[in-house]
Protein backbone atom coordinates (compact mmCIF):
# COMPACT_ATOMS: atom_id res chain seq x y z
CA UNK A 1 0.00 0.00 0.00
CA UNK A 2 1.10 3.56 -0.50
CA UNK A 3 0.58 6.41 1.93
CA UNK A 4 1.09 9.87 0.52
CA UNK A 5 1.55 13.12 2.34
CA UNK A 6 2.78 15.17 -0.57
CA UNK A 7 3.01 18.34 1.51
CA UNK A 8 5.87 17.06 3.71
CA UNK A 9 8.68 18.23 1.42
CA UNK A 10 7.01 21.54 0.65
CA UNK A 11 6.35 22.16 4.33
CA UNK A 12 9.96 21.36 5.21
CA UNK A 13 11.30 23.61 2.46
CA UNK A 14 9.04 26.47 3.58
CA UNK A 15 9.76 26.08 7.28
CA UNK A 16 12.52 27.80 9.16
CA UNK A 17 12.01 25.27 11.96
CA UNK A 18 13.44 22.25 10.13
CA UNK A 19 12.56 18.83 11.52
CA UNK A 20 10.72 20.10 14.58
CA UNK A 21 8.41 18.25 16.96
CA UNK A 22 5.41 18.78 14.69
CA UNK A 23 7.21 17.13 11.77
CA UNK A 24 8.28 14.21 13.97
CA UNK A 25 4.66 13.83 15.08
CA UNK A 26 3.46 13.67 11.48
CA UNK A 27 5.92 10.85 10.79
CA UNK A 28 4.95 9.01 13.96
CA UNK A 29 1.31 9.12 12.85
CA UNK A 30 2.17 7.88 9.34
CA UNK A 31 4.26 5.05 10.79
CA UNK A 32 1.56 4.03 13.24
CA UNK A 33 -1.06 4.09 10.51
CA UNK A 34 1.07 1.78 8.35
CA UNK A 35 1.48 -0.60 11.30
CA UNK A 36 -2.25 -0.48 12.07
CA UNK A 37 -2.97 -1.45 8.45
CA UNK A 38 -0.85 -4.60 8.82
CA UNK A 39 2.28 -3.55 6.97
CA UNK A 40 5.21 -5.96 7.11
CA UNK A 41 7.71 -3.17 6.51
CA UNK A 42 7.82 0.60 5.98
CA UNK A 43 9.88 2.36 3.33
CA UNK A 44 9.84 6.14 3.44
CA UNK A 45 10.65 7.95 0.20
CA UNK A 46 12.24 11.30 1.08
CA UNK A 47 15.77 11.29 2.40
CA UNK A 48 15.52 14.76 3.95
CA UNK A 49 13.53 13.29 6.87
CA UNK A 50 16.15 10.89 8.24
CA UNK A 51 15.79 11.76 11.94
CA UNK A 52 11.98 11.47 11.74
CA UNK A 53 12.28 8.07 10.07
CA UNK A 54 14.80 6.88 12.67
CA UNK A 55 12.27 7.78 15.37
CA UNK A 56 9.61 5.68 13.61
CA UNK A 57 12.08 2.78 13.38
CA UNK A 58 12.77 2.96 17.13
CA UNK A 59 9.02 2.99 17.85
CA UNK A 60 8.52 -0.20 15.79
CA UNK A 61 11.64 -2.35 16.36
CA UNK A 62 10.01 -5.59 15.16
CA UNK A 63 9.34 -4.10 11.73
CA UNK A 64 11.87 -3.18 9.01
CA UNK A 65 11.65 0.61 8.69
CA UNK A 66 13.98 2.04 6.08
CA UNK A 67 15.05 5.48 5.10
CA UNK A 68 14.99 5.74 1.32
CA UNK A 69 18.71 6.32 1.04
CA UNK A 70 19.93 3.92 3.72
CA UNK A 71 20.53 0.90 1.47
CA UNK A 72 21.97 2.98 -1.37
CA UNK A 73 24.44 4.63 0.98
CA UNK A 74 25.61 1.24 2.25
CA UNK A 75 25.89 -0.08 -1.29
CA UNK A 76 27.81 2.97 -2.54
CA UNK A 77 30.17 3.00 0.44
CA UNK A 78 30.91 -0.72 -0.02
CA UNK A 79 32.35 0.01 -3.46
CA UNK A 80 35.26 1.89 -1.88
CA UNK A 81 35.51 4.61 -4.53
CA UNK A 82 34.72 8.29 -4.92
CA UNK A 83 30.93 8.64 -4.93
CA UNK A 84 29.04 11.28 -6.89
CA UNK A 85 25.79 12.16 -5.11
CA UNK A 86 23.09 14.07 -7.01
CA UNK A 87 20.01 15.64 -5.42
CA UNK A 88 17.35 18.04 -6.65
CA UNK A 89 15.97 18.94 -3.19
CA UNK A 90 18.32 21.06 -1.05
CA UNK A 91 17.42 19.55 2.36
CA UNK A 92 18.58 16.17 1.02
CA UNK A 93 22.14 17.45 0.67
CA UNK A 94 21.94 19.02 4.10
CA UNK A 95 21.31 15.65 5.75
CA UNK A 96 22.43 12.80 3.50
CA UNK A 97 26.23 13.33 3.29
CA UNK A 98 26.49 12.92 7.07
CA UNK A 99 24.87 9.48 6.75
CA UNK A 100 27.77 8.07 4.72
CA UNK A 101 30.34 6.12 6.73
CA UNK A 102 33.40 7.99 7.94
CA UNK A 103 36.09 7.97 5.30
CA UNK A 104 33.69 7.87 2.35
CA UNK A 105 34.93 10.05 -0.45
CA UNK A 106 31.94 12.04 -1.62
CA UNK A 107 31.27 14.81 -4.11
CA UNK A 108 27.76 16.20 -4.45
CA UNK A 109 25.70 18.21 -6.90
CA UNK A 110 22.46 20.04 -6.18
CA UNK A 111 20.24 20.39 -9.24
CA UNK A 112 17.15 22.30 -8.04
CA UNK A 113 16.05 23.08 -11.60
CA UNK A 114 15.60 19.34 -12.17
CA UNK A 115 12.92 19.24 -9.48
CA UNK A 116 11.26 22.33 -10.94
CA UNK A 117 11.22 20.65 -14.36
CA UNK A 118 9.85 17.40 -12.95
CA UNK A 119 7.10 19.23 -11.05
CA UNK A 120 6.18 21.00 -14.29
CA UNK A 121 5.95 17.66 -16.09
CA UNK A 122 9.09 18.23 -18.18
CA UNK A 123 10.71 14.86 -17.60
CA UNK A 124 13.15 15.24 -20.50
CA UNK A 125 14.59 18.43 -19.01
CA UNK A 126 14.73 16.80 -15.56
CA UNK A 127 16.70 13.87 -16.92
CA UNK A 128 19.02 16.09 -18.99
CA UNK A 129 19.86 18.22 -15.94
CA UNK A 130 20.60 15.11 -13.87
CA UNK A 131 22.87 13.80 -16.65
CA UNK A 132 24.78 17.10 -16.77
CA UNK A 133 25.29 16.96 -13.00
CA UNK A 134 26.55 13.38 -13.33
CA UNK A 135 28.98 14.42 -16.04
CA UNK A 136 30.37 17.16 -13.75
CA UNK A 137 30.85 14.54 -11.03
CA UNK A 138 32.67 12.24 -13.45
CA UNK A 139 35.03 15.16 -14.20
CA UNK A 140 35.68 15.34 -10.42
CA UNK A 141 36.87 11.73 -10.41
CA UNK A 142 33.74 9.95 -9.21
CA UNK A 143 33.56 6.25 -10.07
CA UNK A 144 29.92 5.68 -9.11
CA UNK A 145 26.86 7.94 -9.31
CA UNK A 146 24.21 7.86 -6.58
CA UNK A 147 20.84 9.43 -7.34
CA UNK A 148 19.67 10.67 -3.96
CA UNK A 149 15.91 10.76 -4.42
CA UNK A 150 13.21 8.37 -5.60
CA UNK A 151 12.06 10.98 -8.11
CA UNK A 152 15.47 10.89 -9.81
CA UNK A 153 15.48 7.13 -10.43
CA UNK A 154 13.79 7.70 -13.76
CA UNK A 155 17.11 9.14 -15.06
CA UNK A 156 19.23 6.11 -14.05
CA UNK A 157 19.47 4.49 -17.47
CA UNK A 158 20.34 7.74 -19.25
CA UNK A 159 22.95 8.66 -16.63
CA UNK A 160 24.53 5.20 -16.94
CA UNK A 161 24.60 5.45 -20.74
CA UNK A 162 26.22 8.89 -20.71
CA UNK A 163 28.72 8.34 -17.91
CA UNK A 164 29.43 4.62 -18.41
CA UNK A 165 29.54 4.33 -14.62
CA UNK A 166 27.49 2.30 -12.18
CA UNK A 167 24.43 4.31 -11.17
CA UNK A 168 22.72 3.55 -7.88
CA UNK A 169 19.20 4.65 -7.07
CA UNK A 170 17.46 4.84 -3.76
CA UNK A 171 14.52 2.92 -5.21
CA UNK A 172 16.44 -0.12 -6.43
CA UNK A 173 18.71 -0.35 -3.39
CA UNK A 174 15.84 0.09 -0.92
CA UNK A 175 13.63 -2.54 -2.53
CA UNK A 176 16.50 -5.06 -2.63
CA UNK A 177 17.28 -4.41 1.03
CA UNK A 178 13.63 -4.64 2.12
CA UNK A 179 13.27 -7.96 0.31
CA UNK A 180 16.43 -9.20 2.02
CA UNK A 181 15.20 -8.17 5.46
CA UNK A 182 11.73 -9.64 4.93
CA UNK A 183 13.19 -12.93 3.64
CA UNK A 184 15.51 -13.10 6.65
CA UNK A 185 12.57 -12.53 9.00
CA UNK A 186 10.65 -15.43 7.43
CA UNK A 187 13.63 -17.82 7.44
Inform me whether the pLDDT recorded for 13 exceeds 80. no
Q: How confident is the model at residue 86 (pLDDT cuts 50, 70, 90)?
A: very high
Inform me whether the pLDDT recorded for 131 exceeds 90. yes
In this prediction the pTM is 0.81
Q: Rounded mean pLDDT of 87-116?
A: 91
Residues 6+ away with beta carbon under 8 Å from 119: none
Name the residue among 91, 6, 97 with its Cα closest to residue 48: 91
d(CA 77, CA 81): 7
d(CA 91, CA 96): 8
Domains of the chain (ranges; CATH) run 8-68 (no CATH), 70-173 (3.40.50.1860)
Amino acid sequence: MNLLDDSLSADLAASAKGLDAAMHHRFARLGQYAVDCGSDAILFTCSAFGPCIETVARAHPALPVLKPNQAMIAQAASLGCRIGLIASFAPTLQSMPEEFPAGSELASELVPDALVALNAGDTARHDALVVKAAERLVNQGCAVIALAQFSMARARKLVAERTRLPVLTTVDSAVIELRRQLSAAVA
